[in-house]
Amino acid sequence: MNKWWHQSIKYLLLLSFIIPLLTACAVSDSVKDQYPLQSVNGSGNETSYVYRADNISVPDVAANLADQRKPEQQSEVSTERMFLVYSDEVIQLDQAPDDPSDTLIEINSTEYVRQNYSSSFLQGYLIASVLDDLFDHGKYGKGKYRGYTTKDIYKPNTSYRVPTVEDKKLAPPLTVNRTGSVFKRSKDANASASSPNTSSSQNKDTITSKPATKGKIVKEANESSKSNKVYTKPRKSKPSVKVGKSRVTRRR
């Protein structure tokens, strides 16, 4: 009896350790998305951190971030570029040039935006009152910078660099809550959906279907001399009668 009791306690203790671990893993995998740090610029209160969201579109990333923290202003929805403005930072979202299915998330401190960005560039995305507060009514915003994707053309005051160990400590992978409307699409989805005999030129992101065709009746060769009508209504007229003086003749 005592031996059975001790074994039961051991099993209960083992389950008490395993179940919480399994639950924690499930919650982490289904609720959180982590975006790795890709590039860094600046230091102190003038910083820019660039993250990459793999296989998530610009509007979906914007929705994720806005659900986690409501911005003061969000630019119009676009698949190529969006902005989220907060009191202490401005987030620029761009479609990745090397892979349009990815999104580059650029988190810029307010001071970085003031010292590097062109205020005229942001006028196409943000309202005037937000720009006035951001650039202190024209005191700042004299730079040429327009975002990480065009940094080689419209250069910031300092250059971007590969994140160091210290940078990753200051800016760990960006973690956001995944909303129910956001789904990550696998890059291999097209390959699994296409037939092995299908040429590579036909593997596209969208699946097309053949247009509906109408049915038709095909006649046999020996029926070519027949009428084209499927059914001919029989004649139901009464036989004609000819009346004479001496006799009545009925047509046969």
The confidence score (pLDDT) of residue 25 equals 38
The string of pLDDT tens digits covering residues 201-238 is 444 343 344 444 444 444 444 444 444 444 445 555 55
pLDDT band at 185 (very low <50, low <70, confident <90, very high): very low
Task: Judge contact between 64 and 99, C-beta under 8 A.
Answer: no
The string of pLDDT tens digits covering residues 146-172 is 999 999 999 999 999 999 999 888 887
Whole-angstrom distance, CA of residue 163 vs CA of residue 39: 6
Examine the pLDDT at 198 and tell me if it is beyond 60. Answer: no
Examine the pLDDT at 4 and tell me if it is beyond 70. Answer: no
Average pLDDT, whole number, for the chain? Answer: 75
Examine the pLDDT at 100 and tell me if it is beyond 70. Answer: yes
The confidence score (pLDDT) of residue 175 equals 79
Whole-angstrom distance, CA of residue 146 vs CA of residue 153: 9
